[in-house]
Amino acid sequence: MFSGSIFPHWRRKAAERFSGTSSEIPFYLNAAYYPNWRIYRKQPPSALRLGFVSHIFYAFAWVKEDGTVYGRNQLSDEWADTQMPVDGTTGCLRAFAQLKPQYSKLKLVLSIGGGGKGSENFAAVARSKSCTETFAQSARRLVDEFGLDGIDVDWEHPADSQQGQDYIRLLARLRDYFPPPYVLATCLPAGQWALQHIDLQKAAKYVDMINIMGYDFAGPWGAESGHHAQLYCPSYGSGVSCQSAVEYVLGQGVHPKKLLLGIPAYGRSFLGSDNIGQRYAGCGGEDGVFDYSELPRPGATEYHDEQVAAAYCVGGDGGFVTYDTPQTVQQKAKFVTREQLGGLFYWHIGGDARGPRSLIEMGYNTLHEM
Tell me if 324 sits within 8 A of 295, measured CB to CB. no
Residue-wise pLDDT for 255-301, tens only, equals 999 999 999 999 999 999 999 999 999 999 999 999 999 999 999 99
Per-residue pLDDT reduced to its tens digit, 305-322:
999 999 999 999 999 999
Q: What is the pLDDT of residue 357?
A: 98
Supply the residues annotated as catalytic.
156
Per-residue pLDDT at 73 exceeds 70:
no
Give every CB contact of residue 270 below 8 A, 6+ residues apart in sequence.
218, 225, 278, 280, 283, 319, 320, 321, 322
What is the DSSP code (8-state) at residue 72? T
pLDDT, one tens digit per residue, over 205-232 is: 999 999 999 999 999 999 999 999 999 9
What single-letter amino acid sits at 281? A
3 state DSSP class of 128: coil
Tell me what pLDDT residue 120 has. Answer: 93
Q: What angle do CA 319, 321, 323 make, to 5 degrees?
A: 175
pLDDT value, residue 1: 24
Return the pLDDT at 370. 62
| pLDDT, average across residues 16-43 | 75
Question: Among 3, 32, 213, 244, which Cα is nearest to 101's?
Answer: 3
Helices vs strands, H then E, count in the chain: 11, 15
Q: Beta strand 259-264 with 266-270: parallel, antiparallel or unpaired?
A: unpaired
Q: How far from chain centre, in Å, is Cα 164?
A: 21
Q: Which residues, including other chains, have CB under 8 Å from residue 345's CB and lie 6 or more apart?
A: 29, 30, 31, 32, 33, 55, 57, 211, 260, 261, 262, 263
Higher pLDDT, 239 or 29: 29
Structural domains in the chain plus CATH codes: 4-213+255-265+325-367 (3.20.20.80)
pLDDT at 6 over 50: no
> What pLDDT score does 26 carry?
64
Q: Is 236 exposed, middle or buried (0-12, 13-18, 19+ CB in 10 A)?
A: exposed
Read off the pTM: 0.92
**With 80 as the cut, is the pLDDT of residue 8 above it?**
no
Which amino acid is it at 76? S
- Given this model, what pLDDT does residue 238 score? 59
Pairing outcome for strands 301-305 and 343-347: unpaired
**Which one has a higher pLDDT value, 152 or 72?**
152
Residue 66 has pLDDT above 60, yes or no: yes
Task: Return the closest-CA partner of residue 58 out of 116, 98, 112, 119.
Answer: 112
Q: State the DSSP H helix or E strand holding residue 173, giving kind and residue range, or none if neither.
A: helix 161-177
Peptide bond into 181 cis (omega under 30): yes
Residue 111: beta bridge partners?
59, 152
Tell me which of 3-17, 87-101, 203-217 is least confident: 3-17
106 touches 100 (CB < 8 A):
yes
Looking at residue 235, its pLDDT comes to 64
Spatial contact of 37 and 93, defined as CB atoms under 8 Å apart:
no
Share of the chain above pLDDT 70, in %: 90
Amino acid at 250: L
Q: If you ran DSSP here, which 8-state letter would residue 368 be given?
A: T
pLDDT, residue 236, reads: 57
Report whether 208 contacts 185 (CB < 8 A): yes
- Residue 116: the pLDDT is 83
Do the Cβ atoms of 27 and 21 come closer than 8 Å? no
Q: What is the mean pLDDT of residues 338-355?
A: 97
Mean per-residue pLDDT of the chain: 91
Give mean pLDDT, residues 46-66.
95
Q: Assign residue 222 a region: left if phi > 0, alpha if psi is -120 to 50, beta otherwise?
A: beta
Residue 276 exposed, middle or buried by CB count within 10 Å (0-12, 13-18, 19+): buried
Confidence check: pLDDT of 144 > 90: yes
| Alpha carbon distances (Å) from 10 to 5, 167, 362 | 12, 45, 15
Question: Tell me: the pLDDT tens digits for 158-215?
Answer: 999 999 999 999 999 999 999 999 999 999 999 999 999 999 999 999 999 999 999 9
Is residue 74 pLDDT above 90, yes or no?
A: no
